Amino acid sequence: MGSMSKRPSWRRVALIGAVAGIITACGGGAASAPTTARQSAAPSAAVSAAPSQRPSGGPSAAAGAIVGEWIGIHDCERIVAMLHAAKADEFIIESVVGNGLIPGVDTEAQLKDPAKPCTGAVQQQHSHYFTADGRFGSKDFDAYQVDDGTYEVKGDTVVINGQPFRFSVDGDQLTLEPPKIDTSSCTSKECRFEAAWVLMVAMPGTTWTRGVITP
């Protein structure tokens, strides 16, 4: 297992993500700020992908394809370009450091050059999971849970913590398309955080592959 030192993450408290308003308006309820420590609980268990285990009241049978854990790759240059394009530069450093992309670097002060945050960067695995009873979560490369909440499938859209993502599942591959990003009317960091959060969840252009991150 990797370093157990504390570092920022993109974890959100369950249900807080159900903010009012979509990113296109970006003026709804406040979103939680990124936590400054990884969750102290043990690595989360593997998520079953078997639709037959879905209890009553959970997502419909048509939503079964998304149930399970999906692994993607966090790439520093991609994240920096993505957040810069969304005018969410204030979250670049914590996204790079918080996702462990610079080995041995846990704080901004440890970066060799904050203007070049990807110096010495490596790619890291990151996963999302969707349980049969409607829970959503994310795991970092050490298998620690760093995000949580709920989800609901509506046709070809999965609504995660109140935000709609278009999705498609092709065999063991998942793609997520975030809601339209427009921070031009944002007047608070919380609003811009929400924009950055949906991008970090979807990672546009990334294909998520069914699998399990283990410690």
Tell me the pLDDT tens digit for each residue of 30-78: 333 332 223 333 343 333 333 333 333 344 445 789 999 999 999 999 9
Neighbours of 47 (CB within 10 A): 20
Nearest to 153 by CA among 81, 32, 67, 88: 67
d(CA 118, CA 121) in angstroms, rounded, equals 5
Higher-confidence position of 58 and 212: 212
Is pLDDT of 29 > 60? no
Rounded Cα distance between 167 and 148, Å, is 19
Structure tokens at 1: 């297992």
pTM: 0.75
The 10s digit of each residue's pLDDT in 169-192 is 999 999 999 998 888 888 889 889
Q: Which residues contact 94 (CB under 8 A, 6 or more apart)?
A: 8, 34, 108
Q: Mean pLDDT throughout 94-104?
A: 95
| Average pLDDT over every residue of 157-178 | 96
Between 165 and 14, whose confidence is greater?
A: 165
The DSSP code for 61 is G
Give residue 131's pLDDT.
97
Asked whether 134 and 59 are in contact (CB, 8 A), the reply is: yes
Other C-beta atoms lying within 10 Å of the C-beta of residue 102: 19
> Token pair 């920022």 is at which residue?
8
Q: Is the pLDDT of residue 4 over 50?
A: no
Give how far the C-alpha of residue 90 lies from the chain's centroid of Cα atoms, to the nearest Å.
17
Residue 126 confidence (pLDDT): 98
- Whether residue 14 contacts residue 150, with contact meaning beta carbons closer than 8 Å, is answered with yes
Cα distances from 38 to residues 8, 128, 188, 197, in angstroms, run 7, 16, 24, 16
Which tens digit of pLDDT belongs to each residue from 118-156? 999 999 999 999 999 999 999 999 999 999 999 999 999
Could you report the per-residue pLDDT of 108-123, keeping only the tens digit for each?
999 999 999 999 999 9
Tell the residue number behind the tokens 């960067």, with chain if given.
Answer: 121
DSSP 8-class letter at 34: P
The CA angle 178-183-184, to the nearest 5 degrees, is 140
Give pLDDT, residue 2: 33
18 pLDDT exceeds 80? no
